[in-house]
Amino acid sequence: MNYAKRFRIAPGEKVALGRRDPGDTCGLKSKKDAKAETRKNLKRLAELQYTLYAEGRRALLIVLQGMDAAGKDGTIRHVMGPMNPQSCRVTSFKAPTEEELAHDFLWRIHRAVPRAGEIGIFNRSHYEDVLVVRVRKLCPKRRWSKRYRQINDFERLLAENDVHILKFYLHIGKDEQLERFRARLEDPRKHWKANPQDFEERTRWDDYMQAYEEALGRCSTSWAPWYVIPSNRKWFRNLAVSQIVVEALEALDMKFPKPAFDVSKIKVE
């Protein structure tokens, strides 16, 4: 199955999340088989990460977005967790600080972009400035409505400087979110994940869906595509994301750098 083709948002596509099944597994019914395929992907991903680091010419930026409890942390843990931390960094974007608010909205984002040879993972991102900012009316429409263009320009800048971008919207259903919220309340080990604000944001579900649809439609480009990943089934989410990341890295056709000396003349005694 070509997950990249199936879940990619075409540039300019009018997105209707209500028509996309968050429980879709592309016909896969075996959780065991899916996990086995994911393990293969993770092994290959480790090899590709090593090559990316050794080559030192390009970077990969992975953006994760989704409603509360969509599985951003879980995706990082199960898909990116096995990566070598020497060249992989996760940045979680919370509410901006006073210093960050004193700059343009992309200032804190640009500072976290991975260096050449690295993989950077954004847990939430610059898209919060056309999502929560829009829904919560944290700034006037005349300001946030310009940000779609600014985001596209920013991502083009990164892409033209060898930062390859993959953006994943983890798509869960409203009922599935409710079940995950209940699990956080019922399991003492998950109480730390419960946040009263998350329950408040749930009341704005429809507004967030509209905001996401516009962001996905206006900001999925050839240089920074969006993928809508069905995420009601965590095992399928992990499989789809890992497969898309592996295929994107393989497409770079990376090479190990040639040594700056004649290896044959080095003798180890």
- Going by C-alpha positions, the residue among 26, 66, 74 that lies closest to residue 174 is 66
Q: Please provide the DSSP assignment of 14-34 as one string.
A: ---GGGS-TT--TT---HHHH
The pair phi, psi for residue 130, each rounded to 5°, is -125, 10
Q: What is residue 224's three-state secondary structure?
A: coil
Mean pLDDT of 19-26: 97
Which pLDDT does position 120 carry in this prediction?
98
First to last CA, the chain: 51
Asked if residue 193 has pLDDT above 90, the reply is: no
What band does 37 get if pLDDT is binned at 50, 70 and 90? very high
The chain-wide mean pLDDT, for the chain, equals 95
Cα angle value 22/28/33 (rounded, 5°):
125
Q: How far apart are CA 157 and CA 86, in angstroms?
A: 25
Q: What confidence tier does 269 reach under pLDDT thresholds 50, 70, 90?
A: confident
Superfamily of domain 3-252: P-loop containing nucleotide triphosphate hydrolases (3.40.50.300)
pLDDT tens-digit readout, 129-157: 999 999 999 999 999 999 999 999 999 99
Contact 245, 50 (CB under 8 A): no
